[in-house]
Chains A and B, each alone.
Chain A
Amino acid sequence: MKIGIDVGGTHTDAVVLSGSEILATHKALTSSDVKEGIVNALDAVMFGASLKPSDVSAVMIGTTHFTNAVIERKHLSCTAIIRACLPTGTGIPPQCDWPEDIANSLGNHVYSIKGGHTFSGDEIHALDDVEIRSVIKDIAHKGIESIAVAAAFSPMNPAHEVYIANKIRAEIPNANITLSHEIGRLGLLERENAALLNAALGSLADTVVSSMKQALIERQIDCPFFVSQNDGTLMSADYIANYPALTFASGPTNSLRGAAMLSQISDAIVVDIGGTTSDVGVLANGFPRESNSFIDVGGIRTNFRMPDIMAIGVGGGSLVSADGTSVGPKSVGHRLVTEGLVFGGNQVTATDIVVAAGLHSIGDMQKVAHLKPEMIEAAGDEMHRLIDDAIDRMRPSDDPVPVILVGGGSILVSQQLNSASKVVCPEHADVANAIGAAIAQVGGEVESIISYSKIKREDAIAKSTQEAKDKAVLAGADGNSLRVLDVEETPMSYMDDNAVRLRIKVVGELKQLVES
């Protein structure tokens, strides 16, 4: 039996799964105390499913702690960055485009040194031991223990980052070191930012992970527990203490993955309709389609693996104009339950329209009896048009796609959507996030620039696939269950004719679950 818990900014969802069968669900407001929130969620679902602690084989947790820490600039450690790239890169030093408040939270300890590699694999410059020693001495002197290391082209050749890390450990044994190649993809500036944020979150990660562990101990649950990351795969709890930044987008990812399981559809558009916005994402092969563009986390440019989500201003609390032709983006949000007409308020919301049309019975129907049929029809059409439009923009091709509705606002959709081949509104959609966490798998990913003139395409793909599989096994996957999820080849402009950026991603089941 697996337990999935999703700790969001507002709600904490929990679910008990036996295989793909849902035995119990729970939804509560998120508590400020991490341990207490998890203990409460565990108690509720274990009671609901009549579980003994020994029945639990794994606990999966999704969390927004680390995203919120960055956004609120709280609990961030003083952190140094060592970038190995000189003589290149002097035009754009580390952290030069950071918002001042968060740069100051980390203390502006910026070091650029000689090193890194070129696209063809040569060293930009050999590492200089004297230079490295003096940088480390300075960092040690300042008493800084969180350190990020980034070298040019390290995703293709991490040797320089690894060498510097060993030197740091020798001098600062307690150092919390993040190497950029372990956390980001090509794009030095963005990867270095990701490494910095990750290092700065290190001490918070220790606290959060030990609170989670403590919660399990208090309820005598002695099984592996995992935390879900951006791409819908899992990290072991000890891994997350080292890579907290990899959880930044786990919320939307879990919602998409949960929708896939609930509906048993692996290729679809998922529309998560909340109070103020609808988040539209794409499921391809059971996993979220990832965004191509740079992701801004708290004002900092990163290139994390994040799902491609389009948010539109339509939700259950969206305000409706007097003639019904305009819906949203203004919304009463969570005040829907006091300000909506059917709840005795005086704002006409999308939810009021659904009730007035006789599609759902929520609150006091008499309060919307005065709304004119033309207005109700116009507003209904407008909501559907906005949602249909977003689906149309996100779908991968011109063909109609299955659409899965989740979230409390999914009652807004009652008519046919032109871009949808069918519309599914699965049961338990309100705890899709926790389900997504509970069903997460373990993944591995490798990215490199390869010239097919130098190595045959099949050989290059085979080699990268093996590297990705090795990474997944290291992260806790069962080697036999691994499958290739994605092979992405991006040709590179101006380079020699067969140069491509090759990215391979594999996923598999958790080793513990296969064995048990």
Chain B
Amino acid sequence: MKQISAKDIKDLCCGAAFLATGGGGDPYVSQLAAERLLEKHGPANLMAPEEIPDDFNVVSIGMVGAPTVTLEQLPTEDEAVKAFDAYEQQTGRKIDAVIPFEVGGGNSTIPLTVAAVRGVPCIDGDGMGRALPEAQMMTFPLYGVKPTPAVLMDSWGNSAVLHCNDPLTFEKHIRAMAVAMGGMISSAEHGMTGKQASEAAVPKTISFATKLGQLLRNHNGSIDAIESELISLFANTQYGAVKRLYTGKVVDSERKIIGGYDVGSAALQSFDANLEPMTLLIKNEYLVAKVGDQVVASVPDLICIVEQETSRPLNAERMRYGQRVAVFGIGCTHHYRTEAALKVTSPRAFGFDMDYVALEDIR
């Protein structure tokens, strides 16, 4: 079994920020909190999906709410652990392993800290392979895993238990509860068997994000120099093809809050005068990339942006005129390529009037 220790956290957070496709919030707070917990409690054991015993009792753990709130209400050391304990108490069963629901952003670290504190393994995989804003977009419900019972824990130790009829209702209720419980909560949800977890999880994403972050951080120079290494890192993973979609500078960036989302668009201009500008459509994450009128990548495929000269992932809220960026399209995991999955994750599910076209089928 592999391990993740405090010294791996900076790499993991950098890789997780890349896979967050523009969302996931400022990774610094979650990085600090995770480093401290792993220093105190030792490393977390990582269990590969193929190693999970079929009858294991697995629960998914992470935080839900507004990242801006955590700028002031800094994380409570034991909040996610309390959610874990309360979940065991609520269901009356011991939890054998935890799994992240979202590798993109700070939620990649929360289950690792719980695993380190409670001495259970953390599954090397997650429920998205990226970042997405809503619960019904996870891979877990696509494989028949029910989101509830879910235990929500706030920083004061107040908890709530949700029982919902379907994933959409769960998403609606947990969002309302997050606001009522101080803006940011920990959630233990999507209980599943080991067998379900091994099928539903996007495999190896935690160890992969760590390797990815290591590549980007150690290099700390132009992305051009490590593009081939980046592409070969993605080869032989559950992700599809990696394509450099565009290189240019940000010439426009505009954002509004609509329906609880950070919605907007950004425009990039290529250094090659013959190329038309790129438009990025954003709803928390980068969801659609077009060059001129031609869609070159769309959700659930990943649109990942790095600063060209530093290779550091670029968060959508930090995007600003003049930044030089490289845009990559990365084929999503096969979990999202079914009709049922695309119904909840394709551009149409976000209100864009366009169908999903797989990255490898474009041009």
Q: Which of B157, B182, B257 contacts A493 (CB 8 A)?
A: B257
Most chain B beta-carbon contacts within 10 A, residue among A119, A188, A294, A449 = A119
In the complex, how many angstroms separate the beta carbon of B76 from the nearest chain A beta carbon?
Answer: 5
Contact partners of A293 in chain B: CB under 8 A: 318
Within 8 A of A (CB), among B54-97: 65-69, 71-79
Contact partners of B146 in chain A: CB under 8 A: none
Give the contact stretch, choosing among A18-26, A83-91, A253-261, A408-416: A83-91
Contact of A494 with B29 in the complex, beta carbons under 8 Å: no
In the complex, how many angstroms separate the beta carbon of B47 from the nearest chain A beta carbon?
Answer: 24
Q: Which of A88, A89, A493 contacts B68 (CB 8 A)?
A: A493
Contact partners of A85 in chain B: CB under 8 A: 73-74
In the complex, how many angstroms separate the beta carbon of A435 from the nearest chain B beta carbon?
Answer: 28
In the complex, how many angstroms separate the beta carbon of A357 from the nearest chain B beta carbon?
Answer: 28
| Complex alpha-carbon distance, A449 and B72, angstroms | 12
Nearest-neighbor residue (CB-CB) of A97 within chain B: B32
| Contact bitstring A386-399, B, C-beta under 8 A = 1, else 0 | 00000011111110
| Complex alpha-carbon distance, A394 and B249, angstroms | 11
Contact of A491 with B255 in the complex, beta carbons under 8 Å: yes
Q: Is A170 an interface residue (CB 8 A)?
A: no
Nearest-neighbor residue (CB-CB) of B157 within chain A: A87
Contact of B68 with A495 in the complex, beta carbons under 8 Å: yes
Contact of B257 with A492 in the complex, beta carbons under 8 Å: yes
Contact partners of B258 in chain A: CB under 8 A: 497
Q: Which of B74, B255, B323 contacts A89 (CB 8 A)?
A: B74
| Contact bitstring B331-345, A, C-beta under 8 A = 1, else 0 | 000000000000000
| Complex alpha-carbon distance, A116 and B261, angstroms | 28
Contact of A119 with B72 in the complex, beta carbons under 8 Å: yes
Q: Specify the main secondary structure of chain B where it touches its partner.
A: mixed
| Complex alpha-carbon distance, A153 and B257, angstroms | 22
Within 8 A of B (CB), among A167-194: 186-189
| Complex alpha-carbon distance, A491 and B320, angstroms | 15
Tally of contact residues, A, Cβ under 8 A: 44
Contact partners of A497 in chain B: CB under 8 A: 257-260
Contact of B261 with A493 in the complex, beta carbons under 8 Å: yes
Q: Is B219 an interface residue (CB 8 A)?
A: no
Contact of B284 with A493 in the complex, beta carbons under 8 Å: yes
Contact partners of B320 in chain A: CB under 8 A: 292
Q: Is A108 an interface residue (CB 8 A)?
A: no
Q: Which of A188, A294, A499 contacts B257 (CB 8 A)?
A: A499
Contact partners of A189 in chain B: CB under 8 A: 29, 71, 74
Nearest-neighbor residue (CB-CB) of A495 within chain B: B66
Q: Is A501 an interface residue (CB 8 A)?
A: yes
Nearest-neighbor residue (CB-CB) of A90 within chain B: B77
Contact partners of A501 in chain B: CB under 8 A: 68
Q: Is A496 an interface residue (CB 8 A)?
A: yes
Within 8 A of B (CB), among A449-497: 449, 491-497
Contact of B155 with A88 in the complex, beta carbons under 8 Å: yes
| Complex alpha-carbon distance, A96 and B34, angstroms | 12
Contact of B74 with A91 in the complex, beta carbons under 8 Å: yes
Q: Is A92 an interface residue (CB 8 A)?
A: yes
Within 8 A of A (CB), among B148-166: 155-157
Q: Is A124 an interface residue (CB 8 A)?
A: yes
| Complex alpha-carbon distance, A118 and B175, angstroms | 17
Contact partners of B182 in chain A: CB under 8 A: 118-119
Contact of A494 with B155 in the complex, beta carbons under 8 Å: no
Q: Is A418 an interface residue (CB 8 A)?
A: no
Q: Is B324 an interface residue (CB 8 A)?
A: yes
Nearest-neighbor residue (CB-CB) of A390 within chain B: B322
| Complex alpha-carbon distance, A107 and B7, angstroms | 26
Q: Is B244 an interface residue (CB 8 A)?
A: no
Contact of B284 with A92 in the complex, beta carbons under 8 Å: no
| Complex alpha-carbon distance, A496 and B178, angstroms | 11
Contact partners of B29 in chain A: CB under 8 A: 92, 189
| Complex alpha-carbon distance, A450 and B187, angstroms | 27
| Complex alpha-carbon distance, A334 and B164, angstroms | 70
Contact of A119 with B33 in the complex, beta carbons under 8 Å: no
In the complex, how many angstroms separate the beta carbon of A69 from the nearest chain B beta carbon?
Answer: 26
In the complex, how many angstroms separate the beta carbon of A120 from the nearest chain B beta carbon?
Answer: 8
Contact of A91 with B68 in the complex, beta carbons under 8 Å: no
In the complex, how many angstroms separate the beta carbon of A191 from the nearest chain B beta carbon?
Answer: 9
Contact of A89 with B257 in the complex, beta carbons under 8 Å: no
Contact of A394 with B73 in the complex, beta carbons under 8 Å: no
Contact of B71 with A188 in the complex, beta carbons under 8 Å: yes
In the complex, how many angstroms separate the beta carbon of B137 from the nearest chain A beta carbon?
Answer: 15
Q: Is A152 an interface residue (CB 8 A)?
A: yes
| Complex alpha-carbon distance, A493 and B65, angstroms | 9
Q: Which of B33, B67, B262 contacts A92 (CB 8 A)?
A: B33
Contact of A92 with B259 in the complex, beta carbons under 8 Å: no
Nearest-neighbor residue (CB-CB) of B322 within chain A: A393
Contact of A88 with B178 in the complex, beta carbons under 8 Å: no
Nearest-neighbor residue (CB-CB) of B323 within chain A: A393
In the complex, how many angstroms separate the beta carbon of A291 from the nearest chain B beta carbon?
Answer: 10
Contact partners of A125 in chain B: CB under 8 A: 156
Contact partners of B324 in chain A: CB under 8 A: 393
| Complex alpha-carbon distance, A96 and B29, angstroms | 12
| Contact bitstring B305-336, A, C-beta under 8 A = 1, else 0 | 00000000000011011111000000000000
Q: Is A512 an interface residue (CB 8 A)?
A: no
| Complex alpha-carbon distance, A396 and B321, angstroms | 6
Contact of B322 with A395 in the complex, beta carbons under 8 Å: yes
Q: Which of A119, A393, A394, A396 contacts B183 (CB 8 A)?
A: A119
Contact of A118 with B36 in the complex, beta carbons under 8 Å: no
In the complex, how many angstroms separate the beta carbon of A247 from the nearest chain B beta carbon?
Answer: 25
Q: Is B37 an interface residue (CB 8 A)?
A: yes
Nearest-neighbor residue (CB-CB) of A391 within chain B: B322
Contact partners of B36 in chain A: CB under 8 A: 91-92, 96
Task: Give chain A's interface residues, CB within 8 Å of chain B.
Answer: 85, 87-92, 96-97, 116, 118-120, 124-125, 152-153, 186-189, 292-294, 301, 392-398, 449, 491-501
Provide a sorted-by-A list of 8 A–B residue pairs whose CB atoms are within 8 angstroms.
A87-B156, A118-B183, A120-B183, A189-B71, A494-B175, A495-B260, A497-B257, A499-B257
Apart from A293-B318, A494-B175, A495-B183, 17 more pairs, CB < 8 Å? A87-B155, A88-B76, A89-B73, A91-B37, A118-B73, A119-B68, A124-B155, A124-B156, A153-B73, A187-B72, A188-B73, A292-B320, A301-B28, A493-B261, A494-B65, A494-B68, A499-B257
